[in-house]
């Protein structure tokens, strides 16, 4: 009998054996698939988000300069622009006006930014889809915003940012700089922070050092640091991943440990009978290994495919409550899928291999004992 | 011998592998067609000078983590401890952490 035919016979028997305890094995496969699903969802979600952040934020300012006063971010005087322009290598310095607006009726926080190019007409605003959703406002509608003097000012919605851009624009309200100053009471001659363009990207660190020397109350933030922020947020050591990963890994360890340390009486007796009717120890172990492979492969395929559908077709529905926190406004976005073969392989070796090994160890112990003593148990 | 249980197992494995292949092909296809959407977001980021993704809107240091400093999580009042759920999920940006 060829090796292939021998193993096919063993698989036939392993499937029959699994079928005899189908309720237990189905429950086992479902739990196992759920753990794989959780881990794969986290991997797919974070990897896609990190890639998207890198692609989208490449256009963010090369250097942002903030002013700190008593440990707090403070308005920066326009006079700083001239100081920064004098630094060799700096090609452009612009003031940025932005802030947050809390809308009491909905409980949502919005990010208000001064209009870029092309400029909006006075009294008009462009809003993100999230703002439009929470306020039920469409193009042409008026949105009243409360100014620092307590009076409400109505702004006409000139346009709503596309749904496709929600990942960066969901909570945005873009308005003319003069309107923003009037709304928040920011005096002329001050900005929220400054943005710099540098002629040679390699000089950014040197320019940042010069900024710290010339303006000791300021804090430069480099684009590279902005880009690395999202790698760090979704790094496996970050809170989000650690919580989900730790839970799933702990569940898997308990699960594999239980499998490794226990073999039901029925299973032991079955192995005794097999040995008594002439099966070799290696054949019994092969049968148990195939049982492990069948269960873990089914769970791996099922869990990973479901995770893909969850993250890239249902917009990570199950992660939404975790990410939402206390946010009233939450962006609805669909990530561009990215599958890193290395990560899928790592997931495979971290789940399928330990489980299969965990199945073989107790089987080895049981299969090497005298069949007569097992059947008498 | 037709109709053996092992045949079913091999069919399931083949189907699983095919579904994996489809998944990778789908990801590739979506990646190739994602250029327009990514470009639109990148243009908005460049036009308005944006620095962060809109993922958390409850706390300002979670809305703009790259712009936060080490004090932001605790600056609501002198005795305030960090209390936003999103604040527990994200680490401070790498440029604020000791190297």
Whether residue A76 sits in one domain with residue A50: no
CB atoms within 10 A of CB A87: 18
Whether residue B12 sits in one domain with residue B32: yes
Cβ–Cβ below 8 Å for B27 and A53: no
ipTM: 0.87
- Rounded distance, CA A154 to CA B16, Å? 57
Whether residue A172 sits in one domain with residue A141: yes
Whether residue B94 sits in one domain with residue B64: yes
Nearest Cβ partner for B47 among A116, A195, A294: A116
Looking at the domain assignment, is residue A299 inside a domain?
A: yes
Whether residue B93 sits in one domain with residue B69: yes
Mind listing the pLDDT tens digit for each residue in A317-363?
A: 888 887 777 888 888 888 899 888 888 888 888 888 888 888 888 77
- Structural domains counted in chain A: 2
Whether residue B55 sits in one domain with residue B35: no
Task: Give A212's pLDDT tier (boundaries 50, 70, 90).
Answer: very high
Task: Give A57's pLDDT tier (boundaries 50, 70, 90).
Answer: very high
Whether residue B56 sits in one domain with residue B96: yes
pLDDT at A1: 66
Whether residue B99 sits in one domain with residue B66: yes
Cβ–Cβ below 8 Å for B57 and A171: yes
Whether residue B92 sits in one domain with residue B56: yes
- Structural domains counted in chain B: 2
pTM for this prediction: 0.87
Task: Give A33's pLDDT tier (boundaries 50, 70, 90).
Answer: very high
Whether residue B73 sits in one domain with residue B42: no
DSSP letter (8 states) at residue A327: -
Mind listing the pLDDT tens digit for each residue in A263-291?
A: 777 777 888 888 888 888 888 888 888 88
Mind listing the pLDDT tens digit for each residue in A127-184?
A: 999 999 999 999 999 999 999 989 999 999 999 999 989 999 999 999 999 999 999 9
Stated as kind and residue range, the H or E segment containing B56 is none
Between the CA atoms of B64, B65, B68 and B72, what dihedral angle is there, to the nearest 10 degrees? 100
Cβ–Cβ below 8 Å for B51 and A64: yes
Whether residue B14 sits in one domain with residue B42: yes
Looking at the domain assignment, is residue A228 inside a domain?
A: no
Nearest Cβ partner for A323 among B20, B56, B63: B56
Residue A250 burial (C-beta neighbours within 10 Å; 0-12, 13-18, 19+)? exposed
Higher pLDDT, B52 or A324: B52
Please name the residues in contact with A206: beta carbons below 8 A apart, sequence gap of 6 or more: A89
Whether residue A174 sits in one domain with residue A77: yes
Stretch A251-256: mean pLDDT, rounded? 78
B21 near A CB under 8 A? no
Whether B2 has a pLDDT exceeding 80, the answer reads no
Please name the residues in contact with A193: beta carbons below 8 A apart, sequence gap of 6 or more: A64, A65, A66, A67, A73, A76, A95, A96, B67
Whether residue A285 sits in one domain with residue A190: no
Whether residue A185 sits in one domain with residue A293: no
Whether residue B89 sits in one domain with residue B99: yes
Mind listing the pLDDT tens digit for each residue in A182-194?
A: 999 999 999 999 9
Cβ–Cβ below 8 Å for A168 and B41: yes
- Rounded distance, CA A7 to CA A14, Å? 10
A175, A201, A222 - which closes a domain: A222
Task: Give A237's pLDDT tier (boundaries 50, 70, 90).
Answer: low
Displacement of CA A30 from its chain's centroid (Å)? 24
- The tokens describing A229, both together, are 């922020």
Nearest Cβ partner for A168 among B34, B44, B89: B44
- Rounded distance, CA A312 to CA A77, Å? 45
Whether residue A326 sits in one domain with residue A213: no
- Structural domain containing residue A89: 61-222
Interface of A with B in 107-126 (CB under 8 A): 108-109, 111, 113, 116-117
- Structural domain containing residue B31: 1-50
Whether residue B79 sits in one domain with residue B56: yes
pLDDT at A215: 95
Higher pLDDT, B70 or A14: A14
Spatial contact of B55 and A323, defined as CB atoms under 8 Å apart: yes
- For chain A, give the percent of residues with pLDDT over 90: 46
Looking at the domain assignment, is residue A149 inside a domain?
A: yes
A200, A222, A244 - which closes a domain: A222
């Amino acid at each position: 009998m060829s090796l292939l035919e021998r193993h096919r016979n063993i698989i036939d028997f392993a499937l029959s054996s699994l079928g005899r305890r189908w309720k237990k094995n189905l429950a086992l496969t479902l739990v196992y698939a759920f753990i794989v699903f959780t881990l794969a969802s986290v991997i797919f979600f974070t990897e896609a988000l990190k890639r998207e952040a890198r692609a989208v934020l490449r256009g963010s300012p090369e250097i942002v300069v903030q002013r700190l006063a008593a440990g707090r971010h403070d308005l920066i005087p326009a006079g700083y622009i001239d100081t920064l322009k004098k630094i060799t290598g700096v090609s452009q310095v612009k003031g940025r006006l932005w802030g947050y607006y809390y809308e009491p009726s909905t409980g949502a926080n919005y990010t208000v930014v001064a209009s870029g190019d092309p400029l909006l007409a006075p009294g008009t605003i462009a809003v993100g889809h999230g703002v439009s959703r929470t306020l039920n406002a469409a193009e042409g509608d008026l949105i009243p915003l409360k100014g620092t003097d307590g009076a409400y000012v109505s702004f006409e919605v000139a346009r709503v940012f596309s749904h496709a851009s929600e990942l960066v624009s969901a909570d945005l309200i873009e308005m003319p700089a003069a309107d923003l100053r009037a709304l928040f009471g920011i005096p002329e001659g001050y900005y929220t922070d400054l943005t710099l363009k540098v002629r040679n990207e390699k000089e950014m660190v040197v320019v940042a050092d010069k900024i710290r020397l010339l303006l000791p109350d300021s804090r430069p933030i480099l684009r590279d640091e902005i880009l690395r922020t999202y790698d760090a947020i979704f790094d496996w050591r970050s809170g989000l991943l650690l919580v989900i990963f730790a839970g799933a890994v702990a569940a898997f360890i308990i699960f594999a440990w239980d499998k490794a340390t226990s073999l039901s009486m029925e299973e032991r007796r079955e192995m005794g009978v097999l040995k008594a009717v002439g099966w070799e120890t290696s054949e019994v172990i092969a049968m148990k290994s195939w049982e492990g492979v069948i269960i873990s492969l089914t769970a791996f395929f099922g869990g990973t495919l479901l995770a893909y559908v969850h993250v890239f077709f249902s917009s990570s529905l199950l992660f939404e409550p975790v990410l939402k926190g206390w946010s009233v406004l939450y962006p609805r976005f669909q990530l561009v899928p990215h599958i890193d073969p290395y990560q899928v392989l790592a997931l495979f070796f971290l789940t399928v291999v330990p489980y299969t090994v965990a199945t073989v160890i107790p089987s080895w112990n049981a299969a090497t004992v005298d069949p007569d003593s097992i059947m008498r148990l | 011998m037709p109709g053996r249980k092992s045949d079913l197992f091999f069919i399931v494995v083949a189907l699983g592998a095919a579904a994996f292949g489809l998944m990778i092909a789908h990801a590739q296809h979506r990646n190739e067609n994602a250029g327009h959407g990514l470009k639109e977001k990148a243009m908005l980021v460049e036009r308005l000078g944006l620095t962060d993704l809109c993922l958390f809107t409850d706390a300002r240091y979670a809305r703009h983590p790259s712009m936060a400093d080490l004090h932001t999580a605790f600056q609501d009042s002198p005795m305030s401890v960090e209390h936003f759920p999103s604040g527990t999920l994200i680490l401070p940006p790498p440029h604020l952490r000791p190297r």
